């Protein structure tokens, strides 16, 4: 009996195992939370970038565009029977960002003419020409569109619409519709009706 007293009975205690298990669960929860936070941050950044891009596009669609200043037609000087070409003067609308004229399309529809034109490429063998009139020196306009076709606030844009033959052949008392369409923004619509006769000696007539 004396010898038996020297043996120590091992105690069956599971509290340490429970503590380790709790720690493992806690670490797992922290890792899951960290991953979830990373996903949320990444998603938030993506949504923010998409919202900014959508906002920029919306601003361009609302603000971009032109204001028509004047529309005149050049009458054929041989017989004064029809208009050879049309010149349009434009400015950018208030608040409009810069516009690349290479991306602007122009259409002209009348009883005798149906054109769809761009500046940088030929469609149906027709292109329009454009000049940016930046300043006036005496009675002469100073044109600048040799290196860049991008126009901005303060520029006066002169567009000449014609066909490859150089004659639109728009005669008396004809209805015409011109559409100026930038890549983004508002379409500019011009409607006109030519007079019942063109006066000999008068080369330019107002159309708007």
Confidence label for 6 from pLDDT (cuts 50, 70 and 90): low
Between the CA of residue 66 and those of 62, 135, 158, 201, what are the distances in Å? Answer: 12, 19, 12, 32
Q: For residues 54 and 73, state if they share a domain.
A: no
Residue 115 has a pLDDT of: 86
Q: For residues 109 and 186, state if they share a domain.
A: yes
Residue 69 has a pLDDT of: 93
Percentage with pLDDT > 70 across the chain:
72
Q: For residues 83 and 152, state if they share a domain.
A: yes
Domain boundary among 63, 83, 100: 63
Q: For residues 181 and 115, state if they share a domain.
A: yes
Q: For residues 58 and 78, state if they share a domain.
A: no
Say if residue 1's pLDDT is above 60: no
| Cβ pair 205, 83 in contact under 8 A | yes
Q: For residues 79 and 156, state if they share a domain.
A: yes
How confident is the model over 137-175, as pLDDT tens digits? 444 455 556 567 888 888 889 898 887 666 788 999 999
Q: For residues 59 and 93, state if they share a domain.
A: no
| Cβ pair 139, 109 in contact under 8 A | no
Instruction: Report the alpha-carbon distance of residue 50 to residue 87 in Å, rounded.
Output: 41
Residue-number span of the structural domain to which 78 is assigned? 66-206
Q: For residues 39 and 104, state if they share a domain.
A: no
Higher pLDDT, 129 or 189: 189
């Amino acid at each position: 009996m004396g010898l038996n007293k020297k043996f120590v009975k091992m105690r069956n205690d599971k509290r340490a195992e429970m503590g380790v298990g709790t720690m493992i669960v806690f670490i797992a929860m922290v890792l899951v939370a960290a991953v979830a936070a990373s996903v949320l941050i990444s998603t938030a950044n993506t949504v923010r970038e998409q919202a900014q891009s959508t906002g920029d596009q919306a601003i361009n669609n609302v603000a971009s565009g032109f204001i028509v200043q004047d529309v005149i037609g050049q009458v054929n000087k041989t017989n004064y029977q029809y208009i050879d070409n049309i010149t349009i003067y434009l400015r950018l609308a208030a608040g409009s960002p810069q516009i690349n004229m290479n991306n602007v399309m122009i259409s002209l529809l009348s009883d005798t003419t149906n054109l769809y034109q761009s500046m940088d490429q030929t469609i149906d063998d027709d292109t329009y020409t454009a000049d940016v009139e930046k300043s006036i020196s005496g009675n002469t306009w100073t044109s600048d569109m040799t290196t860049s076709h991008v126009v901005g606030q303060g520029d006066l844009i002169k567009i000449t619409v014609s066909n490859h033959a150089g004659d639109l052949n728009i005669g008396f008392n004809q209805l015409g519709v011109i559409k100026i369409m930038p890549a983004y923004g508002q379409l500019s619509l011009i409607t006109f009706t030519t007079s019942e006769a063109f006066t000999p000696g008068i080369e330019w007539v107002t159309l708007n």
